[in-house]
Structure 1
Amino acid sequence: MTVALCWCLLLFCLDVSRPELPVAQAGSVPSAGKTLVWGPGLEANIVLPARFFYIQTVDGSGRNLTTSPGEKTFEVKIVSPVEQFTRIWIQVLDRQDGSFLVRYRMYASYSELHIHIMLKNKHVAKSPYVLEGPVYHEGCNCPQPSGATWEEHMKCPQSFPQIDKDLSVFPSVDPDRNAQEIPQRFGQRQSLCHYTIKDNKIYVKTFGEHVGFRIFMDAILLSLTRKVWLPDMEFFVNLGDWPLEKRKPTEKIHPIFSWCGSNNTRDIVMPTYDLTESVLETMGRVSLDMMSVQANTGPPWPLKNATAFWRGRDSRQERLELVKLSRAHPEMIDAAFTNFFFFKHDESLYGPLVKHVSFFDFFKYKYQINIDGTVAAYRLPYLLAGDSVVLKQDSGYYEHFYDELRPWEHYIPIRADLGDLLEKIQWARDHDDQVRKITQTAQQFARNHLMGDSIFCYHYKLFQKYAKLQVTEPRVRKGMELVDQPTDDLFPCSCHRTRTHTQKKDEL
């Protein structure tokens, strides 16, 4: 089976909840020849901060293993035959379900890479996989001139439902008008960034006092422009929590990019700064990301605590009610505050503050309660990727992927006022097999829609479709400053790509 075909069959290969899949018996011996390997990390043209691919353990009779054959089952080596030293950090993450996630971060670019995947000194599947170069590392500024080619390499979907929905209320976008009107409307009271992308260079001007979160937007734009040539465009990013554009589509509305949307606003939603940073800093300075969660999902399902779990701060009234509910029903709910900031801390009502719990320890519990904070709770992607079921509060706030989630398929819905929470927890306890299936479907969703390649695709498709709506020429405005690419004196790279006049025309 080819790498491309295996990758396309991701759902088939990994979805162990599907009854028609052959499942190995306990004690089955992994087969090097029949085990499956696929994923973007086996493709030279897919540049990610941390590249990754999957291994699905299969036994000699062609049956998928659904429990771990052991953390050290597979050995992975990545080398460049023309380099004495290969500066690559590799981790093999055991997902405890018979599959493994292999991730690696390159600190230099190579003319060629060989990926060796071994099982007891035998090559697995089509190992060694040869990535014919050049194979660029994350810091290499070598954008693919053709957006269409980049999308094809990345296997980006044709569209994202939320992008189409958000842009549908903007028949056209006038950069000249927006450059004048948006700062007048929002620039005094809100924190904004005004960006222009011109000739794949990034320019920015900030408005407002609290603009520290600009670093997250700068980071994804810098990373994206190193990988693919972005269309010229001009746009405003809201650096605050709450979406801003409250006018109705029938009124004169302005396009504002935000990390969170709501049913009462018209902001254009991007993947949250938290999820985006975790992608950019995977195997770097963040410990919580969509890959590390998959290797830290707690004990096996039957051994998990059958209590609903929550930890957090007091950023919403319903969170106060949740903790009071927990104190009244400790056998059903374990919820406590780690910090008080928004409300007065009444220990008689809410109990003492507790120490922070490692996010990975959340998955010692079968049931995870997801309640809004100031806006949508940005922990949801990680909860979906773990091996627990999510009880999600009904909410008017949403992230970029909520439109593709289905209640009772990816999560158990609970009312906004939490009035049915105890009832839903009891239902979950009484229907363990159904809950297990919801958990596995949610994990599959996270693996397919919330990994790094999907986050880059989402940003690119959003910018590409937004740029086409512009009716005046994007310009570098007065007061804008250039956002420089970071320099890498230790591991510079040579870019072989050039942008032709034809490619410039094709972009328009």
Structure 2
Amino acid sequence: MPARYFYIHAVNSKQIRLKKSPGDVFSIEITGDSEDKSCQAWVNVLDRKDGSFIVRYKVYNSCYNFQIHIKYKGLKVAGSPYSAVGMVHADECDCPMSNFDHWFERYGCAGENMKKMHSVITSNLRPFESVNFTATRRYIREKFNHPGSVSICNYVVKNNQVFRKCYGQYVGFKTFMDEILLSLARKVKLPDFELFVNLGDWPLIRKEDASSKEPTIPMFSWCGSKDTHDIIMPTYDLTEATLGCMGRVTLDMLSVQGNVELPWEERIEKGFWRGRDSRLERLQLVALSRENPDLLNASLTNFFFFRDKEEIYGPKEPYISFFKFFDYKYQVCLDGTVAAYRMPYLLAGGSLVLKQDSDYYEHFYSELIPGVHYVSIKSDLSDLVAKIKWAKSHDKEAKRIGEAGREFADQNLTPQSIFCYHAALFKAWSTKLVSPVKVLKGMGQAVQKEQTSKLIKCACPVKETEESNRTSRSKKQVNSEGKRDEL
């Protein structure tokens, strides 16, 4: 995992959990051995301000005798030190386990919470009992041959290597799909499979088409809707936050929890929203805010879709840190062009989320319960003011819903869950294919990046490397075994 992590829940002398932060009282040290004599790791402690902490750490080499030491004012905590069994590799190390089921269990993907989320996959894949791409591949490409408005990629994972050919004018978002597949392939030997991925925000496979004589097309997308049949993956935004945790991204599902500055009691009792003008209701929200400044703080940060309305709904407000959103008790979540991809982070911040009713959804929406994890508002925002007034007069219940939302995010949307969801989805999908999985003519390979950093040094077990059969195979061998088809 790019950033591994664990939780500390502080307790008092009677073993009762604290509800407020005890301050900077815990010290974390990681020890271990490596070819460089010592294990190199960066540790970051995130205070969630409720008596609990997230400790995340990034390992830079392959370590053995790996231990995590946790101390409170110099004294060992609970069972510290905690030891890892076997070798611990840096995320950049290309050391896949050969047995998928074994890895799936060891990675923590087989737990009860995970199983509940993975039931969404079963529902998503139900329309596809047997998929024959040999019969439908050409039809799929021709149906979505609209280069200016639709971009898709045909992916093949063969012998734990990733190949793809993309179609359309705007294919830059293939990077997100490349990265999650390559990251998984460094961890475990993936089953062979083929799929088509929609690189746009809007889902493509309309249910009305499924009622015709045309076959239902299996298309993987980042967003779904009530009138489409797309197979939904975690959004590219959430996937990037997972892959870039403690790296290139600053907003992720862990950092947002550790950068909320105020406890619930000190947050401002108003609804808060910032964003661009990608939906008419967002302009209406600004109007509501001006009519009810004691209840709402909502402003637009950019005009693109409704530039002719800037004089009415402007001026543009400057961007503020997403972490500062949680200075407010109530977070308004409105759709943009499709579902608002900020929903996971709003849940993680522990404020009460007021979510607009919508036909669009992300991969986890079906598991959210209104009134338990968030409060729903009508799509036309006609009850938003009333819902904020309700929250102000029912503070304990509003706080409880906010806490339940954060707990849901902890259990289902943090990095481990996102890796597990992808892995479970691809494994389940591989069992649906009846056509042979072959590398097709014209496909390019998405290759693992070279280990350019001198900090990162890997020592993969020889057995795993041989079983995965990856490091010694030449490009000629790949082409020969793949038998690249014309289709």
TM-score for both structures, normalised by structure 2: 0.91
- 1:75–1:119 contact (8 Å) kept in structure 2: yes
In the TM superposition, structure 1's runs of 4+ consecutive aligned residues that sit over 6 Å from their partners are 499-503
- Cα deviation for residue 69 of structure 1 reads 0.4
Instruction: Give the AA of the match of 1:404.
Output: E
- Tell me the equivalent position of 1:104: 57
1:348 deviation in Å? 4.3
Distance 1:300 1:461 in 2: 36
Report whether the alignment pairs 1:174 with 2:126. Answer: no
Residue 92 in structure 1 maps to residue 50 in structure 2: no
Q: Which amino acid aligns with 1:233?
A: F
SS at match of 1:140: coil
CA–CA distance in 1 between the matches of 2:403 and 2:464? 44
Aligned-pair CA distance for 1:219: 0.5
Counterpart CA distance in 2 for 1:94 and 1:245 is 43
Q: Which of 249, 253, 277 is equivalent to 1:286?
A: 249
1:105 is paired with a residue whose SS is: strand
Task: Please tell me whether the aligned partners of residues 81 and 114 of structure 1 are also in contact (alpha carbons under 8 angstroms).
Answer: no
Q: Deviations over 1:423-464 (max 9, x none)?
A: 111111110010010011111111110011100110011111
Q: In 1, Cα distance between the equivalents of 2:33 and 2:188?
A: 28
What is the CA–CA distance in structure 1 between the aligned matches of 2:14 and 2:59, rounded to whole Å?
A: 36
Residue 164 of structure 1 aligns to a residue whose secondary structure is helix
SS at match of 1:80: strand
Q: Number of residues paired by the alignment?
A: 455
1:193–1:214 CA contact under 8 A, matched in 2: yes
Which residue of structure 2 aligns with residue 391 of structure 1? 354
2:172 aligned counterpart, secondary structure: coil
User: Any idea what the Cα deviations from partners look like across 1:267-288, whole Å, max 9, x if unmatched?
Assistant: 0000000001001101101100
Q: 92, 104, 114: which one pairs with 1:139? A: 92
Q: Is the 8 A contact 2:31 2:67 kept in 1?
A: yes
Compute the displacement of 1:499 (Å). 7.7
Query: Which of 437, 453, 458 is the matching residue for 2:416?
Result: 453
- 1:129 alignment partner in structure 2: 82
1:245, 1:130 → 2: CA distance? Answer: 48
Residues in 2 aligned to 1:237 and 1:224: alpha-carbon distance in whole angstroms: 17
| Mapped partners of 1:347, 1:502: distance in 2 | 57
Q: CA deviation at 1:84?
A: 4.1
Deviation of 1:501 (Å)? 8.5
How far apart are 1:502 and its partner, in Å?
A: 13
Residues 187/224 of structure 1: CA separation in 2 closer, same or farther (3 Å cut): farther
CA distance in 2, matches of 1:460, 1:401: 15
For the pair 1:233 / 2:193, whether they are aligned, the reply is yes
Q: Tell which has more relative contact order, 1 or 2 (C-alpha 8 A, sep 6+).
A: 2
Distance across 2 between alignment mates of 1:502 and 1:119? 43
Residues 113-122 or 393-402, more deviating: 113-122
Q: By how many angstroms is 1:169 displaced? A: 1.0
Assess if the C-alpha contact under 8 Å between 1:193 and 1:205 holds in 2: yes
Shift of 1:54: 0.8
2:332 matches 1:369: yes
Distance 1:299 1:260 in 2: 32
SS at match of 1:133: coil
Give the equivalent residue in structure 1 for 2:460: 495
SS of the residue 2:464 aligns to: coil
Counterpart mapping for 1:6-405 below 5 A: 48-70=1-23, 72-81=24-33, 83-156=36-109, 157-158=114-115, 160-189=118-147, 190-248=150-208, 249-251=210-212, 252-405=215-368
Contact 1:141 1:226 in 2 (8 A): yes
Q: What secondary structure sits across from 1:179 in the alignment?
A: helix
| Residue equivalent to 1:14 | none
Unaligned runs of 5+ in 2: 470-487
- Superposed CA offset, 1:227-270 (max 9, x none): 11111111011000100001444441100000000001100000
The offset of 1:132, in angstroms, is 3.3
Check conservation: 2:92, 2:451, Cα contact below 8 A: yes
> Offset at 1:420?
0.6
Matches of 2:419 and 2:350, distance apart in 1: 25
Query: Contact between 2:98 and 2:467, CA under 8 Å: does it hold in 1?
Result: no
- Unaligned residue ranges in structure 1 (runs of 5+): 1-47, 504-508
- TM-superposed CA distance for 1:298, in Å, is 3.0
CA RMSD of aligned residues (A): 1.7
1:443 corresponds in structure 2 to 406
Residue by residue, what CA displacement relative to the aligned partner does 1:129-150 show, whole Å, maximum 9, x if unpaired? 1223311110111111111111
Equivalent-residue separation in structure 1 for 2:287 and 2:374 (angstroms): 23
- Kept in 2, the 8 Å contact 1:231–1:464? The answer is yes
Quickly say closer, same or farther: Cα 1:358–1:348, change in 2 above 3 A. Answer: same
Between the aligned partners of 2:311 and 2:436, the Cα distance in structure 1 is: 61
CA distance in 1, matches of 2:85, 2:320: 44
Q: Distance in 1 between matches of 2:219 and 2:347?
A: 28
Partners of 1:303 and 1:195 in 2: CA distance: 49
Structure 2: distance between partners of 1:237 and 1:255: 9
Which region of structure 1 is more displaced relative to structure 2, 85-94 or 427-436? 85-94
Distance 2:70 2:468 in 1: 41
- Asked whether the 8 Å contact 1:161–1:404 carries over to 2, the reply is no
Q: Determine if contact 2:42/2:59 at 8 Å carries over to the other structure.
A: yes
Aligned partners of 1:396, 1:361: CA distance in 2, in Å?
Answer: 29
1:63-116 CA distances to partner (integer Å, 9 max, x unpaired)? 11111000x210001021455443211001111111110000112111231211
Residue 428 of structure 2 is matched in structure 1 by 465
- 337-346 or 363-372, which deviates more: 337-346
Change (3 A) 1:366 1:345: farther
8 Å contact kept, 2:330–2:353: yes
What SS is found at the alignment partner of 2:86? strand
Structure 2 residue aligned with 1:411: 374
